[in-house]
Chains A and B, each alone.
Chain A
Amino acid sequence: MSAVDSLAGVEQAVALGLTQDEYGLVVASLGGREPNDVELAMFSLLWSEHCSYKHSKILLRTLPSSGERLVLGPGENAGAVDVGGGLAVAFKVESHNHPSAVEPFQGAATGVGGILRDIFAVGARPIAVLDSLRFGEIDSERTRYLLEHAVAGIGHYGNSIGVPTVGGEVYFEGPYEQNCLINAMCVGLVETERLIRSAASGPGNLLVLFGASTGRDGIGGASVLASAELGEGDEAKRPSVQIGDPFAEKKLMECSLELLERALLVALQDLGAAGLTSAAAEMASKGSVGVDIDVARVPLREEGMEPFEIMVSESQERMLCVVEPDRLEAVLAVCEHWETAASVIGEVTASGLVRVLDGERVLGEMPVEALVDACPLYDLQPRAPQEPLYSAPRRVLDSSDDVDPGETLLALLRSPNIADRLPLFEQYDPVVQSRTVRRPGQADAAVLALPARGEARPGIAIAIDGNGRRVAADPYRGTVEAVLECASNLACVGAEPLGLTNCLNFGNPEKPHVAWQLCESVRGLADACRAIGVAVVGGNVSLYNEGADGPIYPTPVIGLVGELPDVALAGRIGFRAEGDRIALVGPFAPEIAGSELARLGGRELPSSLADVDIARVLAAQRAVRDAVRSGSLASAHDIAEGGLATALAECCLAGGLGAEVAFDDTVKPLRALFGEGSGGFVVSGGEGALRALGGAGVAVRIVGLVSGTRLTIVAGEARIELALERLREAHGALRALFD
């Protein structure tokens, strides 16, 4: 029996998720004293995976975190990059997977609410939301339920608060059946000098809690839920789901932004997972100060709440700020104007302690360092799996060579992973705030105008992407591909990457093969970020995404923000004019293995993906980007799921024009038409403009012309000829889900 075993509180600590050894460390950090209930509740949450990143922090330190354009890096509520003109763009992506699996509408809604708060907590006005969703196979009843409610929840929150949803992605694959993914990204705009940090400072300054009152919502919710696998008995977890109130958040947002506009705050922090506990400890830790919090002064929504419940409640729509005493009156007046309740609940101290008080009574007293920094970090024990981790997808299509390629193209367009996302996007407002130059479906990336600078109309572009199946096949190369894919999306609208955020959705990192996926993926992420020359400005890690059947596909979701000098020239997907030439640009080397066609055909995942020639992909991106910026191209689209034929069909449908394309020399038509890989673009324009793309390592091949109302592709022996109407009908397959 070890010394820890004999401690009185060890059983309770283990029940709350700490290990015996961790409990021993808690006792040591308190100078040998065992924690009381309030303290134990706070330690158990802050030392949970969700708050401490104890299994991923060491790995995350390997990501590039500095860059020329970075103005706020990892560690703050959100990172930010300089976009010129004295402005910065703050952004972050975050998961809300486990709450959404329990209650998809509220889970998704509060996921959006949480990421919005992260953005306005740094002083930026949220100007765009994007989301990344993963569900099981589309024909499962549970998938349809989750999809319908998650989409409604995202719309409910984003639409009601007046922040446009400008993009997103969704995939349906078996391994997400038990554990869906709901990731939301928010982008905000701020004058660089107004960015605010979360470090508390100035002993004697006041802690003001403002926004919604505190109830029992989410107690043990996000933190505990997100740190354990969901299994049987999910129903019992329902009461701890938080309920979102976008109206309260709208007022909270306007109130926070006005407080910052008037320079009334010393520091600002949103309340997310672990509520007041996390917010107060983080603010104190960053400022190397202490804080006293009086639970008797926290406005409550329910009677009889225990002090520990008040400290860990995850009630939504709340913020904590530090205010100099002589500015308190002005702060309270702004809050009143926005009909937002505000209360002084404590003060900054020089003690280096987080003290929890109930009036005069001290309920808990813990060194800030112990809460925030003493949590042990774990090295992962990665081991590459010897056996395939995932079973082959269910076969729904005959993908052999002798099937009519036209039918195959229609099947791909109908696939829920490729079909038009309009039925989902129609449930979101993409135009509020009047900045949206490219809406979902119009271009490979969302484009937002920044304030005009004289005659110039600069803008930013945003893409979000991640292909779990390909990362499952090859965590390193799959992740590199995902980053390159986002950069290609940006190139197609004429934008150059500025900064990257990510959400790493993985299984249980204590399992060696999941640890291996995570390590390889992060290695790929780091290499790809260095290649495209951006820092990781911040992000989120969501682990323990497993169901009874095993882990999800490892799913790093990449959010990339870039800039373009003139939004009027932003690229579009759709063909524009009859007679324009069509070219295939870039080092496109398609393979069927790991593709959407392979999935439909029920083929097993390959054990690795082909190497990517990053330098040549970057050269092609540069050529496309420069041409789009000069206005010489009529359209630009990168080749992704479903390969070249799918990309051509998408260009036809978006532009309402047909095309005639031929690759006479193709010996493996199926691979040329439907294979996938990095670095390929379909562009259209005048012949001279297309030829000008070539040079310096960039392959350009003119393959056809924009013409008529049919898509005709001849690839060696294979021939596709389909009217746009048939393509459109297949592409509209998701519509039926929302009738």
Chain B
Amino acid sequence: MKFGVISFPGSCDDTDALSACGRVGEAVALWHADHDLAGVDAVVVPGGFSYGDYLRAGAIARFAPIMTEVIEFAHAGGYVMGICNGFQVCCEAGLLPGALLSNLSRRFVFRQVRLRVLGEPSPFTAAIEPGAELSIPVKHTTGRYFAPPEMLARLHAAGQVVLRYAPGENPNGSLDDIAGVVNEARNVFGLMPHPEHAVDQLTGSTDGLSLFASLAAAAAA
């Protein structure tokens, strides 16, 4: 099973995501200017500040050459996981519903937060007990999840909200404590927390590993 991790100019967590993926499968780097997904089974759009986050977080990266391939890959059912800036890119690209707005504090926030995995089945959380709590860090300035009321109702009804901040842990003012959502077809997942920074007890926690492991199992199946 092979992961591909995209690097845009301004990506910061691409190397970390690559090594996290490497713990549960094969992992290769993909370059923003290429039109080649190198035959990967799953794509990770990593965190950072692609193109400086200028204009709007994710707005310019969404038009990178590689994204044409990612969008096509996703529409064909390929697995895509967007982490933080990658979540913003996927929303801008129309692969995921909603948008990420500036934190209510207007400030960058780094925090180790507790997350709840919801019961809705998804290939990204299949290896995790529903209701389980994960300890994973967030770090962003633009992480307040927003969807218009009708869209939000549809997301809840269809079980597309798969990750929430535990009560009292919402770091950015996200609607309904939403930390991660999947698309309707459940093959694209976006989340603000950084599971790639929770894969080694030495550096804090191993709770993020289960998300990569779930994805690896799904993509290998």
Chains A, B in direct contact (C-beta < 8 Å) = yes
| Chain A interface (Cβ < 8 Å from any Cβ of B) | 152, 155-156, 159-162, 245-248, 250-251, 338-339, 425-437, 439, 449, 457, 567-568, 738
Beta-carbon contact of B49 and A246 below 8 Å: yes
From B36-44, B180-188, B195-203, the one touching the partner chain is B195-203
Beta-carbon contact of A247 and B52 below 8 Å: yes
Question: Are A251 and B9 also in contact (CB < 8 A) when A246-B52, A428-B110 are?
Answer: yes
Query: Which of B11, B52, B53, B111 is the most central at the interface, judged by chain A CB atoms within 10 Å of its CB?
Result: B52
**In whole angstroms, how far apart are the Cα atoms of A159 and B137 in the complex?**
14
Closest to B198 in A: A431
Beta-carbon contact of A427 and B110 below 8 Å: yes
Residues of chain B within 8 A of A428, CB atoms compared: 108, 110
Question: Are A159 and B52 also in contact (CB < 8 A) when A338-B9, A431-B197, A433-B15 are?
Answer: no
A-contacting residues, B175-221, CB 8 Å:
194, 196-197, 200, 202-204
A-B contact pairs, 27 of them (CB 8 A): A159-B108, A160-B52, A160-B53, A161-B12, A162-B12, A162-B48, A246-B52, A247-B52, A247-B54, A250-B9, A338-B9, A426-B110, A426-B111, A427-B108, A427-B110, A428-B108, A428-B110, A429-B108, A431-B203, A432-B12, A432-B16, A434-B197, A434-B203, A437-B203, A439-B204, A449-B203, A568-B202
Residues of chain B within 8 A of A246, CB atoms compared: 49, 52
Closest to B204 in A: A431
**In whole angstroms, how far apart are the Cα atoms of A457 and B201 in the complex?**
13
Q: Closest approach, in angstroms, between the C-beta of A151 and any C-beta of chain B?
A: 9
| Chain B interface (Cβ < 8 Å from any Cβ of A) | 9-13, 15-16, 19, 48-49, 51-54, 105, 107-111, 137, 139, 194, 196-197, 200, 202-204
Beta-carbon contact of A431 and B137 below 8 Å: yes
Beta-carbon contact of A567 and B202 below 8 Å: yes
7 closest Cβ contacts across the A-B interface? A162-B12, A247-B52, A160-B49, A429-B139, A434-B16, A431-B197, A155-B108
Closest to A434 in B: B16
**In whole angstroms, how far apart are the Cα atoms of A74 and B13 in the complex?**
33
Residues of chain B within 8 A of A338, CB atoms compared: 9
Which of A339, A432, A434, A568 is the one whose CB lies under 8 Å from B9? A339
Which of A245, A339, A432, A439 is the one whose CB lies under 8 Å from B13? A432
Residues of chain A within 8 A of B49, CB atoms compared: 159-160, 246-247, 250
Beta-carbon contact of B107 and A427 below 8 Å: yes
Beta-carbon contact of B203 and A250 below 8 Å: no
Residues of chain B within 8 A of A429, CB atoms compared: 108, 110, 139
Q: Closest approach, in angstroms, between the C-beta of B64 and any C-beta of chain A?
A: 12
Residues of chain A within 8 A of B48, CB atoms compared: 162
Q: Closest approach, in angstroms, between the C-beta of A456 and any C-beta of chain B?
A: 13
Residues of chain A within 8 A of B139, CB atoms compared: 159, 429, 431-432
Residues of chain B within 8 A of A567, CB atoms compared: 202
Q: Closest approach, in angstroms, between the C-beta of A428 and any C-beta of chain B?
A: 6
Closest to B106 in A: A152
Q: Is the interface of B mostly helix, strand, loop or mixed?
A: mixed
Q: Closest approach, in angstroms, between the C-beta of A559 and any C-beta of chain B?
A: 22
Q: Closest approach, in angstroms, between the C-beta of B165 and any C-beta of chain A?
A: 15
Closest to A436 in B: B203
Question: Are A245 and B202 also in contact (CB < 8 A) when A431-B137, A432-B12 are?
Answer: no
Residues of chain A within 8 A of B200, CB atoms compared: 434
Q: Closest approach, in angstroms, between the C-beta of B192 and any C-beta of chain A?
A: 13
Which of B16, B51, B194 is the one whose CB lies under 8 Å from A247? B51
Residues of chain A within 8 A of B52, CB atoms compared: 160, 245-248
**In whole angstroms, how far apart are the Cα atoms of A567 and B204 in the complex?**
12
Which of A161, A449, A738 is the one whose CB lies under 8 Å from B202? A449
Residues of chain B within 8 A of A432, CB atoms compared: 12-13, 16, 139, 197
**In whole angstroms, how far apart are the Cα atoms of A426 and B110 in the complex?**
5
Residues of chain B within 8 A of A339, CB atoms compared: 9
Residues of chain B within 8 A of A162, CB atoms compared: 11-13, 48
Q: Closest approach, in angstroms, between the C-beta of A550 and any C-beta of chain B?
A: 34
Closest to A161 in B: B12
Residues of chain A within 8 A of B137, CB atoms compared: 431
Closest to A254 in B: B9
Question: Are A434 and B53 also in contact (CB < 8 A) when A160-B10, A250-B10 are?
Answer: no
**In whole angstroms, how far apart are the Cα atoms of A159 and B140 in the complex?**
9
Beta-carbon contact of A430 and B10 below 8 Å: no
**In whole angstroms, how far apart are the Cα atoms of A428 and B204 in the complex?**
16
Q: Closest approach, in angstroms, between the C-beta of B218 and any C-beta of chain A?
A: 24
Q: Closest approach, in angstroms, between the C-beta of A124 and any C-beta of chain B?
A: 16
Q: Closest approach, in angstroms, between the C-beta of B73 and any C-beta of chain A?
A: 24
Beta-carbon contact of B107 and A738 below 8 Å: yes
Residues of chain B within 8 A of A152, CB atoms compared: 107-108
Closest to A152 in B: B107
Residues of chain A within 8 A of B109, CB atoms compared: 426-427
Beta-carbon contact of B9 and A247 below 8 Å: yes
**In whole angstroms, how far apart are the Cα atoms of A426 and B113 in the complex?**
12
Residues of chain B within 8 A of A434, CB atoms compared: 15-16, 19, 196-197, 200, 203
Q: Closest approach, in angstroms, between the C-beta of B194 and any C-beta of chain A?
A: 8
**In whole angstroms, how far apart are the Cα atoms of A433 and B12 in the complex?**
8
Closest to B19 in A: A434
Q: Closest approach, in angstroms, between the C-beta of B32 and any C-beta of chain A?
A: 10
Residues of chain A within 8 A of B10, CB atoms compared: 160, 247, 250-251
Residues of chain B within 8 A of A435, CB atoms compared: 203
**In whole angstroms, how far apart are the Cα atoms of A433 and B137 in the complex?**
14
Q: Closest approach, in angstroms, between the C-beta of B127 and any C-beta of chain A?
A: 22
Q: Closest approach, in angstroms, between the C-beta of A735 and any C-beta of chain B?
A: 11
Residues of chain B within 8 A of A738, CB atoms compared: 105, 107
Closest to B49 in A: A160
**In whole angstroms, how far apart are the Cα atoms of A512 and B194 in the complex?**
54
Residues of chain A within 8 A of B9, CB atoms compared: 247, 250-251, 338-339
Query: Which of B9, B51, B105, B109 is the most central at the interface, judged by chain A CB atoms within 10 Å of its CB?
Result: B9
Residues of chain B within 8 A of A457, CB atoms compared: 202
Q: Closest approach, in angstroms, between the C-beta of B163 and any C-beta of chain A?
A: 19
Residues of chain B within 8 A of A436, CB atoms compared: 203-204
Beta-carbon contact of B110 and A431 below 8 Å: yes
Residues of chain A within 8 A of B110, CB atoms compared: 425-431
Closest to B196 in A: A434
Residues of chain A within 8 A of B108, CB atoms compared: 152, 155-156, 159, 427-429
Residues of chain A within 8 A of B16, CB atoms compared: 432-434
Closest to B105 in A: A738
**In whole angstroms, how far apart are the Cα atoms of A647 and B200 in the complex?**
30
Residues of chain B within 8 A of A426, CB atoms compared: 109-111
Q: Closest approach, in angstroms, between the C-beta of B45 and any C-beta of chain A?
A: 16
**In whole angstroms, how far apart are the Cα atoms of A425 and B49 in the complex?**
19
Question: Are A437 and B202 also in contact (CB < 8 A) when A251-B9, A339-B9 are?
Answer: yes
Q: Closest approach, in angstroms, between the C-beta of A310 and any C-beta of chain B?
A: 26
Residues of chain B within 8 A of A251, CB atoms compared: 9-10
Closest to A248 in B: B52
